[in-house]
Copies of this chain bind each other. A is one copy, B any other.
Amino acid sequence: MAVKVFLDEADMPKQWYNLGPDLPTPMQPPLGPDGNPVSPDMLTPVFPMNLIEQEVSQDSWIDIPEEVRALLYRWRPAPLHRAYGLEKALNTPARIYFKNESVSPAGSHKPNTAIPQAWYNKQFGIERLTTETGAGQWGSALSFASALVGLECKVYMVRISFDQKPFRKVMMETWGGTCIPSPSDTTEVGRKILAEMPDTPGSLGIAISEAVEAAVTDPTGKTRYALGSVLNHVMLHQTIIGLETKKQLAKINEKKVDVVIGCAGGGSNFAGLAFPFVKDKIEGADIDIIPVEPASCPTLTKAPFAYDFGDTAHMTPLMPMHSLGHKFIPPPIHAGGLRYHGMAPLVSAATRDGLLNPRAIGQIECYKAAVQFARAEGIIVAPETSHAVAATIQEAIKAREEGREKVIVFGLSGHGLMDLLGYEKYFAGELEDHYMSDDEVRESVKSMEGLPKP
């Protein structure tokens, strides 16, 4: 009766899994402003070629370099826990497992891709990284990875999160990074937006624009941009989560998984856990795979599959994805990491192919679930993670009602110790739910009018 399953370092997966080539419908390419596919060469001002090669790779399995493995060992393999306390609290016949990514020094799953991205950039001779961050998890993770690998790191943080979470900046600085509220006056894009909307809370789309501009305009040519979600190579690096999980389930002889659940903002945490199970589903396994998003930012459940920009200022290529439109500025819910207007093309494509079963949940239900989880299991989860917890509780109750011994696995993407303001507001009854209406979605997607269709 193991409460938790470790793997030795030697048993950590030696390859990442690339879902793209295994999807029933081939992936569509990103497009340039002229509507033509973007070639790898065109991305070189933004990313190093070794990562671009991963981005467009058609190999299903890609080796994890030995030095990257050694850096991941700082906290990996991450434990898989059996949620005995939650099962008891819910009186469910389901067996609930969670993969605990909160044990990383940055507190979330984000270092799984921050470490390889920093390492590949360093290999390529890059000296400086720029990036954006929403809740702060990614900016912290890239600062952490940059310190270990030996790079400079500059983070543009969505202003509302910067204001709500002043200690995220200190965290990044402790690792040697710098953190700037976005929009800022350090970029042309930022200055333009500030002139139009001086009181804007910011958005991931704006922060991405600033970070990309800061990278491509560096005259030394030694700066590149790093993205913490959405792109194929980010999904790739995160699959170590699900690959480890499958080894751990095998170790305790748990043969059949019925439900896989992860929260989905840009998609990286969800993809990391889920894609190795999506592979099983493509091969015929009967698994319900559920990305959970906020009701206030319902990308997968309400937005169209379209070609859209990844950022507000059209600095990125057009990507085929579920999107609320690149001008979308979400309500200030506390799950800052789930407020992106789009969704990873791979997660979007898997949804289009009917492999995923997305669900949207309001933040009050999510906090209620998180508090129940904290008292039953002891871990205070991140506001993002609370979405996965809420869906897990829904599924566990359903299993009880059906009287079925289902096996449910969810991703605990991070702890909430840097995000306690949301819990405080929940206890004070100050949180509001916003369920985005069909009318609001119709209005929001107008920014994509005239763009090519997938």
Contact = CB atoms under 8 A, between A and B. Distances in A.
Contacts of A375: 147-148, 174-176
Given A2-B9, A4-B9, A147-B375, A427 B70 contact: no
A1 B10 CA distance: 10
Contacts of A171: 380, 417, 420
A295 interface: no
A167 interface: yes
Give the interface size bracket for A toward B.
35 or more
14 contacts: A2-B9, A3-B74, A4-B73, A4-B74, A4-B75, A75-B378, A85-B148, A147-B378, A174-B371, A174-B375, A174-B423, A175-B380, A176-B375, A417-B418
A431 to B, nearest CB: 14
Nearest to A415: B105
Interface of A: 1-4, 6, 8-9, 70, 73-75, 81, 85, 103, 105-107, 144, 147-148, 167, 170-171, 173-176, 370-371, 374-380, 415, 417-418, 420-421, 423-424, 427
Contacts of A175: 374-375, 378, 380
Nearest to A373: B174
Contacts of A379: 105
A107 B417 contact: yes
B70 A105 contact: no
Contacts of A167: 417, 420-421, 424
Contacts of A176: 375
A421 B167 CA distance: 8
A170 B420 contact: yes
B377 A74 contact: yes
Which among A107, A370, A377, A420 has the highest number of chain B CB atoms within 10 Å? A420
Which among A70, A167, A371 has the highest number of chain B CB atoms within 10 Å? A167
A106 B417 CA distance: 9
